[in-house]
Amino acid sequence: MHARAPVGVGLLAVAACSFNDDVPAPAISAVIPDHGVAGILVTVTGSYLCQQPRTGGDDDPLACAHVGGVMFDTIPAIATAYTDTTVMAEVPMLPAGRSSVIVAVAGRSSNSIGFVTE
């Protein structure tokens, strides 16, 4: 007698979901100004910087449930104001030259935008 393999057995794929799956990743559109010395304030503009879904109700567009961090390469900046579309941040001590600015919030990172330290 031969043993038969079970019929219909296959792989089961399980996908994990997180609270912000319906919200696009944070995206930076500009860093203004795009050059300067350490210590100046820059404005990082973009979208979905809070990583919270829009409900269409009476949500305050300036209130963020999740405040993220701004990084110049691997060096964190101090954010002085934070909304879903704008972050004001102080440029950290960096060597002169080009660096990449990103916003990371709720475990997700944005695209990078260049900044030149003078």
Domain-embedded: residue 113: yes
The CATH number of the domain holding residue 58 is 2.60.40.10
**pLDDT, tens only, 34-79:** 999 999 999 999 999 988 776 665 656 567 877 899 999 999 999 9
> Quick one: how far is CA 71 from the chain centroid?
10
Cis bond before residue 33 (omega within 30° of 0): yes
Domain of 37 in residue numbering reads as: 27-117
* Residue 94, in any domain of the structure: yes
Instruction: Determine, yes or no, domain membership for 5.
Output: no
**pLDDT tens per residue, range 81-95:** 999 999 999 999 999
Domain count, the chain: 1
Asked if residue 13 belongs to a domain, the reply is no
SS3 string, 35-87, reads EECCCCEEEEEEECCCCCCCCCCCCCCCCCCCCCEEEECCEECEEEEECCCEE
Question: Is this structure's pTM higher than 0.85?
Answer: no
In a domain, 7, yes or no: no
In a domain? residue 22: no
Residue 57 domain-assigned?
A: yes
